[in-house]
């Protein structure tokens, strides 16, 4: 699709060389065209920032070239230090894209096979389960293992102290399988934790050493690595949640060791763009490995899908990796046919609905699709109300001005769920009641309201 600028100058090109130079100048850094894109992206991001929906850094590339990179909000609120493209954020489950690629690299080197079982590398793991679950099952979330959150003691601090890899692997081995390995796909971090141990068994080195030597150093990802609470890490962003009475609080302590090869990495938007670009070439992974990595069924660390741009009829092919951990959220969307990239890293835990909404808003700019928004998402209004300690006032504002807002079930559930995760049960109950009022058939809201009420009573 031609942009309006291209359409306007096409007749001029017939005038000769001087007109051609005029055309080319539009694509030089600092040109009118580039400035226009930057201004459009800034305009899209502005309401996310002003309503406290987003704090972090954004990088946008068009045709493989960075056209926008900017920090928004504060990396550290105590020192009032701003976010920048160089700030390091925890990337949570985006870590899985690195681990999956690292596994495939070791397969290329004949150090592993996708058909290897857990038992072949971790003989101390529960044998009955370990003999059934292959590396391919783990990569594609087809193990049958549950999510970590259901492990007894997870929310009471049982795994916040010193827990060895072997001890946590033993805990995983004791969990009942939800289904036979390979039968279906269900997301869990536990399998990827085990992949880290399998890498160590196959190489005789720590997962962190192999990651550094095989991936980070060759690709010059100097601002990416495994996050450790004890490390002095320059330009590290602090993670924040909304506090009970408004404002922000520091994220609760989490033991990153038990997240391991599934969710323990940090990075910057600039390093992630290098990672994105490396995945197009053949220097790091061969063609066969990339078929597995980007197979539409496997989801080896990436989700491969069409990305509908509203009602435009445009649905570019995309590969997406994302994550969320207390205080942090991340997403990288690669539009592979055009080599467009949108990377969003957050240190106020922008919820999944809003980070994909922001991705969509920016993608429409890249594909010259009109953004026809006329109403503000009610989730923006309520998020701002939560941060200002005025949720009740925000609900009142909506009731008095309903025509100004669009009410979306998924976005509201995401906001309410984060309040539940932050143990802000009073806010969560109020939000879930509002959702059920507007979506009386929402089974998810009813289930989560029950959880919020139970949390409030305890």
> Tens digit of pLDDT for each residue in 94-131?
999 999 999 999 999 999 999 999 999 999 999 999 99
- Which band of pLDDT confidence, cut at 50, 70 and 90, is reported for residue 229? confident
Q: Which residues pair with 71 in a beta bridge?
A: 57
Q: At residue 5, does pLDDT exceed 60?
A: no
Closest CA to 4 of 28, 39, 32: 32
Closest CA to 262 of 23, 106, 91: 91
Determine the length of the chain.
Answer: 458
Closest CA to 449 of 416, 408, 424, 418: 416
The more confident residue out of 349 and 277 is: 277
- For CATH 1.25.40, list the domain ranges present in the chain: 376-457
Q: At residue 34, does pLDDT exceed 60?
A: yes
Contacts of 115 (CB under 8 A, 6+ apart): 134, 135, 136
User: In whole numbers, what is the pLDDT of the chain averaged over residues?
Assistant: 91
Q: At residue 18, does pLDDT exceed 60?
A: no
b/e per residue 302-338 (b: at least 16 CB within 10 A) = bebeebebeeeebebebbbbbbbbbbbbbbbbbbbee
- Which band of pLDDT confidence, cut at 50, 70 and 90, is reported for residue 149? confident
261 contacts 100 by C-beta, under 8 angstroms: no
Distance CA 284, CA 87 (A): 26
Q: At residue 344, does pLDDT exceed 80?
A: yes
String of DSSP letters for 5-32: HHHHHHHHHTT-HHHHHHHHHTTSTT-H
Q: At residue 6, does pLDDT exceed 70?
A: no
Distance CA 376, CA 405 (A): 5
- For CATH 3.40.710.10, list the domain ranges present in the chain: 92-224+242-366
* CATH architecture for the domain at 92-224+242-366: 3-Layer(aba) Sandwich (3.40)
Q: Is 455 left (phi over 0), alpha (psi -120 to 50) or beta?
A: alpha
Rounded mean pLDDT, 187-192: 96
Q: At residue 19, does pLDDT exceed 90?
A: no
Contacts of 344 (CB under 8 A, 6+ apart): 54, 56, 57, 58, 269, 329, 330, 331, 332, 350, 355, 358, 359
CA separation, residue 45 to residues 58, 271, 329, 365 (Å)? 9, 21, 16, 12
Distance CA 152, CA 378 (A): 36
191 contacts 54 by C-beta, under 8 angstroms: no
What's residue 416's pLDDT?
A: 95
The more confident residue out of 236 and 455 is: 236
What's residue 458's pLDDT?
A: 77
Beta-carbon count within 10 A of 82 CB: 11
Structure confidence by residue, pLDDT tens digits, 234-256: 999 999 999 888 999 998 888 89
What's residue 457's pLDDT?
A: 83
In eight-state DSSP terms, residue 88 is B
Q: At residue 146, does pLDDT exceed 90?
A: yes
Instruction: Give the position of tokens 């207390």.
Output: 326
Q: At residue 1, does pLDDT exceed 70?
A: no
349 contacts 328 by C-beta, under 8 angstroms: yes
Distance CA 336, CA 320 (A): 10
In eight-state DSSP terms, residue 238 is P
Catalogue the E-assigned strands of 135-269.
225-226, 240-242, 248-250, 265-267
- Which band of pLDDT confidence, cut at 50, 70 and 90, is reported for residue 31? low
Instruction: Give the position of tokens 């058909």.
Output: 115
Rounded mean pLDDT, 303-331: 94
- Which band of pLDDT confidence, cut at 50, 70 and 90, is reported for residue 299? confident
Closest CA to 294 of 97, 45, 13: 97
The more confident residue out of 295 and 329 is: 329
CATH topology of domain 376-457: 1.25.40
Rg (CA), the chain: 23
Closest CA to 187 of 284, 322, 305, 17: 322
Structure confidence by residue, pLDDT tens digits, 363-416: 999 999 988 778 999 999 999 999 999 999 999 999 999 999 999 999 999 999
Distance CA 447, CA 440 (A): 12
């Amino acid at each position: 699709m031609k942009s309006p600028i291209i359409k306007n100058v096409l007749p001029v090109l017939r005038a000769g060389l001087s007109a051609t130079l005029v055309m080319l100048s539009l694509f030089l850094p600092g040109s009118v065209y580039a400035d226009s894109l930057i201004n459009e992206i800034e305009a899209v991001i502005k309401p996310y920032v002003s309503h406290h929906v987003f704090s972090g850094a954004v990088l946008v590339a068009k045709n493989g070239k960075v056209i926008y990179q900017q920090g928004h909000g504060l990396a550290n609120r105590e020192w009032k230090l701003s976010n920048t493209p160089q700030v390091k954020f925890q990337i949570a489950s985006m870590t899985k894209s690195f681990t999956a690629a690292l596994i495939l690299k070791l397969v290329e080197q004949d150090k592993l096979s996708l058909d290897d079982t857990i038992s072949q590398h971790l003989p101390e793991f529960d044998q009955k389960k370990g003999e059934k679950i292959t590396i391919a099952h783990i990569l594609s979330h087809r193990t049958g293992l549950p999510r970590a959150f259901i492990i007894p003691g997870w929310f009471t601090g049982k795994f916040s102290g010193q827990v060895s890899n072997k001890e946590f692997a033993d805990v995983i081995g004791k969990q009942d399988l939800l289904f036979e390995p390979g039968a279906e796909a269900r997301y869990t971090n536990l399998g990827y934790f085990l992949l880290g141990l399998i890498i160590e068994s196959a190489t005789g080195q720590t997962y962190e050493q192999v990651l550094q030597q095989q991936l980070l150093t060759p690709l010059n990802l100097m601002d990416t690595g495994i996050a450790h609470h004890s490390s002095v890490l320059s330009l590290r962003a602090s993670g924040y949640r909304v506090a009970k009475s408004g404002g922000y609080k520091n994220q609760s302590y989490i033991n990153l060791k038990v997240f391991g090869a599934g969710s323990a990495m940090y990075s910057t938007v600039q390093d992630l763009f290098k990672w994105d670009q490396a995945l197009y070439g053949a220097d790091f992974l061969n063609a066969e490995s990339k078929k597995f990595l980007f197979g539409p069924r496997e989801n080896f660390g990436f989700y491969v899908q069409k990305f509908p741009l509203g009602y435009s009829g445009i649905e570019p092919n995309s590969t997406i990796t994302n994550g969320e951990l207390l205080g942090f959220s991340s997403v990288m969307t690669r539009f592979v046919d055009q080599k467009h990239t949108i990377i969003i890293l957050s240190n106020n835990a922008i919820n999944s609905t809003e980070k994909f909404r922001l991705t969509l808003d920016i993608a429409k700019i890249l594909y010259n699709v009109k953004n026809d928004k006329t109403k503000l998402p009610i989730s923006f209004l309520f998020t701002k109300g939560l941060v200002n300690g005025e949720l009740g006032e925000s609900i009142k504002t909506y009731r008095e001005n309903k025509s100004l807002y669009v009410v979306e079930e998924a976005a509201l559930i995401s906001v309410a769920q984060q309040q539940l995760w932050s143990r802000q049960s009073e806010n969560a109950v109020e939000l879930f009641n509002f959702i059920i009022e507007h979506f009386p058939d929402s089974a998810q809201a009813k289930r989560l309201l029950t959880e919020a009420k139970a949390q409030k009573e305890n």
